[in-house]
């Protein structure tokens, strides 16, 4: 997808970050009202984090554990990296709030503050799009407004607990399947998926698996890495993507997508400003 080009006068304006955080002061003060922190407390008062932001082995493990509890599988390397990036971004915003004397370490307060900061920083570039900008965004993202393709596929799972030879075991299973052996007699479990969109495949099997699946030929057994398990997969049928809906029929959705993308650009620009102010250390994943 091609993001709309940010306006130089806005996103490259040196006062962007200061202005966004000034609005944040107003929002958070309104949130706490008269019950807010002690006005005499120094910025970054008691309880404020000190030193660099560190993602250590225990934090890597916590991120993996929470992902696994939610999705029923371990994250891929790319998914884990996104989890790490998200953890760093959240801590950057909390550190900035501490530096401004606006927050203490209560977990509920931290969560609500993060929600408000994400909203405020994203709103920094809220401008009504022109018709020409919407039409250009639609033209660059036409596939988004068509029905997603759907896949029927069979996956034979080979558990990773088989050790370093688990991939080799999956290759053996693939050869047997290609020779016509019944999938039910091979592997640890046979999964038959019907009418799966790419998004649903990604949620269940991960982004790496999905990208590989979308590049496969139908009716051919292929070994795919599913993170904690290897799979031998065959696409049984593909329902092609539908025709995109015309611009006039999806204009409201196009505008919502345009605005969401612009907010994301502004939010990322503000985070870049925070990253330049705080040290971040990411230790190797165990």
Instruction: Say yes or no to pLDDT of 29 above 50.
Output: no
- Is-contact 232 173, C-beta < 8 A? yes
**CA–CA distance, 249 with 239 (Å, rounded to integer):** 23
Determine the pLDDT at residue 116. 63
* Count of all residues that appear for the chain in the document: 286
- What is the predicted pLDDT for the residue at 92? 85
DSSP secondary structure of 198-239:
HHHHHHHH-HHHHHHHHTSPTT--EEEE-SSEEEEEEEEEEE
Average pLDDT in the chain: 77
The CB-based long-range contact list for 12-17 (8 Å cut-off, 24+ gap) reads 16/124, 16/266, 16/269, 16/270, 16/273, 17/269, 17/270, 17/273, 17/274
What is the structure's pLDDT at 224? 92
Q: Looking at residue 7, what is its pLDDT?
A: 37
Work out the angle between the directed axes of helices 77-99 and 16-32 (0-180°, nearest 10). Answer: 70
Among residues 240, 150, 242, 149, which one has the least CA distance to residue 196? 150
**231, 224 Cβ separation under 8 angstroms:** yes
The yes-or-no verdict on residue 35 having pLDDT over 60 is no
* Confidence grade of residue 55 (pLDDT, cut at 50, 70, 90): very high
pLDDT in tens, 71-85: 778 888 889 999 999
Query: Residue 119: is its pLDDT beyond 80?
Result: no
Instruction: Single out the residue of 167, 160, 157, 163 nearest to residue 187, CA to CA.
Output: 157
pLDDT at 127: 67
Given a cut of 70, is residue 31 above it in pLDDT? no
pLDDT of residue 200: 92
Q: Which CATH class is domain 147-239?
A: alpha beta
CATH 3.10.50 segments of the chain:
147-239
Q: For residue 176, which of 153, 226, 184, 162 has the smallest C-alpha distance?
A: 184
Report the range of poorest mean pLDDT among 132-141, 181-190, 211-220, 248-257. Answer: 181-190
262 or 9: whose pLDDT is higher? 262
Q: Is the pLDDT of residue 12 over 90?
A: no
Q: What pLDDT is attached to residue 106?
A: 58
Buried b (16+ CB within 10 A) or exposed e, 10-37: ebeeeebbeebbebbeeebeeeeeeeeb
Alpha-carbon distance 274 to 32, whole Å? 24
**Gap between the Cα atoms of 43 and 100, Å rounded:** 5
Which residue reads 């033209």 in tokens? 139
Highest mean pLDDT among 15-19, 27-31, 125-129, 149-153: 149-153
Instruction: Establish how many alpha carbons lie within 13 A of residue 190's alpha carbon, considering only the half-sphere containing its beta carbon.
Output: 11
What is the per-residue pLDDT for 260?
A: 86
What is the rounded distance in angstroms from the CA atom of residue 41 to the CA atom of residue 35? 14
Mean pLDDT of 32-57: 55
pLDDT of residue 140: 96
Cα 231 from Cα 45, distance rounded (Å)? 52
9-13, 105-109, 135-139, 198-202: least confidently modelled range: 9-13
Which is nearest to 170 in space by CA: 192, 184, 186? 186
Strand pairing report for 280-282 and 150-159 = unpaired
Q: Determine the pLDDT at residue 194.
A: 93
Q: What is the pLDDT of residue 107?
A: 62
In this prediction, residue 36 has a pLDDT band, given cuts at 50, 70 and 90, of very low
């Amino acid at each position: 997808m091609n993001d709309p080009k940010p306006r130089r006068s806005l996103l490259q304006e040196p006062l962007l970050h200061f202005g966004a955080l000034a609005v944040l002061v107003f929002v958070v003060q309104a949130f706490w009202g008269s019950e807010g922190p002690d006005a005499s407390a120094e910025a970054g008062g008691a309880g404020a984090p000190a030193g660099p932001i560190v993602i250590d082995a225990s934090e890597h493990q916590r991120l993996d554990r929470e992902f696994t509890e939610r999705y029923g599988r371990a994250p891929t390397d790319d998914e884990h990296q996104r989890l790490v990036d998200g953890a760093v971004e959240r801590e950057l915003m909390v550190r900035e709030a501490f530096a401004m004397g606006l927050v203490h370490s209560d977990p509920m307060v931290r969560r609500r503050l993060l929600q408000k900061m994400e909203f405020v920083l994203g709103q920094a570039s809220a401008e009504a799009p022109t018709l020409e900008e919407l039409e250009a965004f639609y033209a660059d993202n036409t596939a988004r407004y068509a029905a997603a393709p759907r896949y029927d596929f069979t996956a034979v799972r080979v558990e990773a607990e088989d050790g370093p030879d688990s991939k080799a075991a999956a290759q053996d299973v693939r050869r047997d399947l290609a020779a016509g052996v019944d999938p039910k007699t091979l592997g640890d479990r046979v999964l038959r998926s019907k009418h799966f969109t790419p998004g649903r495949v990604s949620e269940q099997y991960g982004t790496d698996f999905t990208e590989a699946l979308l590049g496969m030929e139908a009716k051919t057994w292929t070994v795919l890495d599913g993170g904690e398990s290897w799979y031998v997969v065959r696409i049984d049928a593909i329902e092609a993507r539908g025709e995109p809906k015309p611009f006039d029929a999806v204009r409201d959705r196009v505008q919502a997508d345009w605005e969401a993308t612009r907010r994301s650009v502004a939010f990322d620009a503000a985070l870049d400003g925070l990253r330049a102010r705080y040290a971040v250390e990411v230790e190797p994943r165990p």
